[in-house]
Structure 1
Amino acid sequence: MAMGGGGGGGHVRGRRRARKRPLSEINVTPLVDVMLVLLIIFMISAPLLTVGVPVELPKTEASAVESDKPPVTVSIDQEGAIFVQRDETAYDALTDRVAEAAEGTDRDELSIFVRADGRAPYQAVARVMARLSAAGFTKLNLITDTAEAAPASVTAPQPAPQPASEPEA
């Protein structure tokens, strides 16, 4: 009789210990969910931070430029106005403003992105690039949109019909 009562009491005591035992596993699912949401937010907002002046870039087939350091952006709108980062700048103050925006970076290592509107005068773009090059900035990059690939089945242009010559009488 004594054995039957002692066995039941030990069983109840074993259950209570299992319930009071602390949970030692960390649930990482909420952490992963939050990190993925933050990653998506930063991926969407990062490209929006680099564009300052609205310009319509010309289309080319060039590939993207890789850079280690953040570049200085010089923009030229369709009227030929010059902007360093987002601030409008006079042509005479261009090199000083680019040097200020570079914050002490060596001119040989500084990348300058020139973003010119496709409708901007060619003279304005050429003058800006020549001025920057003469001031010692060697890494000048023209920023363009990538053009869509040409279709594979392009037909050759047909020659224009020649007017029929009249017979001499």
Structure 2
Amino acid sequence: MAAKLGGSGGGKYHVEQNSDINVTPFVDIMLVLLIIFMVASAVATPGVEVKLPISVAKPTQSPPKPVFISIQTDGRVFIGDNETTYEGLGTALTEQIGRRDPTKERIYIRGDQATRYGDFMQAMNSLQDAGFYSVALVGEDKAPVS
């Protein structure tokens, strides 16, 4: 015959210990993080399709929030996903960056391979007239041939 030793008799409120791990909160957190990353990656990519020329230059570090200007083959110009005109490019860009200093803001221009040089220069002149002097050209990365 067996007997319990010790002071606790295990009365009606005694509950057995459970050593199983509850993974439900872990799965919930992972699903929330997955949704956040999916939404953030969709917002981070520019929506205007441009066929970029090949670049073999070493990539530089990007600013925290880059501003992209896209010039398509037919001459249309976009700030992000919003279409604008060459004349209104500077003022629209100034409105978009808000109170930040335009002389310290780096602007990235994405131009299609078949973009006319005149369209590109018209965009550059509009940016300089508005005080944007730090302009970078975006190209498609390709490993250098040895």
Confirm or deny a common fold (TM above 0.5): yes
> Which 10-residue stretch deviates more, 67-76 or 78-87?
67-76
Larger Rg: 1
Q: For the residues of structure 2 that align with 1:48 and 1:58, how far apart are their CA atoms?
A: 23
What is the one-letter code of the residue matched to 2:4?
Answer: G
Q: Which residue pairs with 2:131 in the alignment?
A: 136
Q: For the residues of structure 2 that align with 1:29 and 1:35, how far apart are their CA atoms?
A: 10
Q: For the residues of structure 2 that align with 1:61 and 1:15, how far apart are their CA atoms?
A: 78
Unaligned runs of 5+ in 2: none
Distance change >3 Å, CA 25–CA 103, structure 1 → 2: farther
**Is 1:10 equivalent to 2:9 in the alignment?**
no
CA RMSD, Structure 1 to Structure 2 (Å): 3.5
Q: Which residue pairs with 1:145 in the alignment?
A: 140
Shift of 1:32: 7.0
Unaligned runs of 5+ in 1: 153-169
Percent identity, aligned pairs only, is 33
Q: For the residues of structure 2 that align with 1:85 and 1:26, how far apart are their CA atoms?
A: 47
**Is 1:123 equivalent to 2:95 in the alignment?**
no
Q: For the residues of structure 2 that align with 1:52 and 1:16, how far apart are their CA atoms?
A: 67
**Is 1:66 equivalent to 2:61 in the alignment?**
yes
SS of match in other structure, 2:3: helix
Q: Name segments (4+ residues, structure 1) moved above 4 Å.
A: 13-17, 21-30
Q: Which residue pairs with 1:98 in the alignment?
A: 93
What TM-score do the two structures reach when normalised by structure 1?
0.66
SS of match in other structure, 1:9: coil
Q: Which residue pairs with 1:156 in the alignment?
A: none
What is the one-letter code of the residue matched to 1:9?
Answer: A
What is the one-letter code of the residue matched to 2:119?
Answer: A
SS of match in other structure, 1:74: strand
Shift of 1:58: 0.6
Shift of 1:70: 0.9
Higher RCO (Cα < 8 Å, 6 or more apart): 2
**Is 1:55 equivalent to 2:36 in the alignment?**
no
Q: Which structure has the highest helix share of the two?
A: 1
Instruction: Work out whether residues 60 and 145 of structure 1, in 8 Å CA contact, stay in contact via their aligned partners in 2.
Output: yes
Q: For the residues of structure 2 that align with 1:78 and 1:126, how far apart are their CA atoms?
A: 14
Instruction: Work out whether residues 74 and 84 of structure 1, in 8 Å CA contact, stay in contact via their aligned partners in 2.
Output: yes
Instruction: Work out whether residues 69 and 110 of structure 1, in 8 Å CA contact, stay in contact via their aligned partners in 2.
Output: no
